[in-house]
Amino acid sequence: MLPLLLASSSPYRRELLERLRLPFSCAAPDIDEQRLPEEPALDLVKRLAREKALALADSHPGHLIIGSDQVAVLGEQILGKPHTFERACEQLLAASGNHVSFLTGLALLNSTTGHCQVDCVPFTVNMRELDLKRIERYLRAEQPYDCAGSFKAEGLGVSLFQSTHGVDATSLIGLPLIRLVDMLLAEGVSLP
């Protein structure tokens, strides 16, 4: 088996990949993550996942390189990482009573053959009606300022949900493991 490389500095993606019990290393790709003019969210996450994997191909020959990128979409608006308490409040107030779609782009690049599998795995969260006091309590408790949509689904953020829908709950956290297993199997990786 070729060595696995996760093209990410995300602790959330690293924790998810550890679930597969395969040895891997991590490296942060250096790419421009700006959205292209008029680029649909689906195309954006697939492009960025692929670019993250490709960015490390020359420095990691003979590897299977995993790239992933995620955006949260509310209506027509892409929600990025809030980075601040105030921006997180705005995002959660806007999401209150609505559904937020998470699009997670995934790429697996064989840096020996150049073959790259790319996909997007969607997941939808239907949010509860939230008032400002509840949002502020949540943000002070969990501080999810590095998370698209302003919540951590793997933590207390689940208390903000009314329901969820999708084929792979790990896509909500940022690395769709079910689809990744399909890609790894296609590359001949043995998994239990």
Show the 3-state SS of 122-173: EEEEEECCCCHHHHHHHHHHHCCCCCCCCCCCCCHHHHHEEEEEECCCHHHH
**The pLDDT value given to residue 15:** 95
Active-site annotation holder among 69, 119, 146, 168: 69
Residue with tokens 């994997």: 53
Q: Is residue 143 part of a domain?
A: yes
Total-model pTM: 0.91
Q: Is residue 89 part of a domain?
A: yes
Q: Is residue 192 part of a domain?
A: no
Please list, in sequence order, all residues whose beta carbon lies within 8 angstroms of the beta carbon of residue 117, skipping any fewer than 6 positions away: 107, 108, 183, 186
Quick check: is 182 catalytic? Answer: no
**The pLDDT value given to residue 19:** 96
**Interaxial angle between packed helices 132-142 and 85-95, expressed in degrees from 0 to 180 and rounded to the nearest 10:** 130
Q: Is residue 191 part of a domain?
A: no
β-strands 77-79, 116-127 pairing = unpaired
Domain count, the chain: 1
Tokens encoding 180 = 């990744």
The sign one gets for the Cα dihedral 92, 96, 101, 102 is positive
What's the distance, CA 168 to chain centroid?
Answer: 12
**The pLDDT value given to residue 27:** 97
Q: CA-based Rg of the chain, rounded to a whole angstrom?
A: 17
Q: Where are the beta strands (DSSP E) in the chain?
A: 4-7, 24-27, 64-74, 77-79, 99-110, 116-127, 161-166
Distance between CA atoms of 88 and 63, rounded to whole angstroms? 37
Q: For residue 41, with 0-12 CB atoms within 10 Å meaning exposed, 13-18 middle and 19 or more buried, which class applies?
A: buried
Q: Is residue 58 part of a domain?
A: yes
Domain range for 39 is: 4-186
CATH number for the domain that contains residue 122: 3.90.950.10
Integer CA distances (angstroms), 91 to 2, 74, 122, 144, 147, in order: 41, 9, 19, 12, 11
Q: Is residue 76 part of a domain?
A: yes
**The pLDDT value given to residue 158:** 94
**The pLDDT value given to residue 107:** 98
Q: Is residue 113 part of a domain?
A: yes
β-strands 77-79, 99-110 pairing = unpaired
Report the chain (192 residues): mean pLDDT per 10 consecutive residues: 94 95 96 92 97 97 97 90 95 96 97 97 97 97 92 92 95 95 96 86
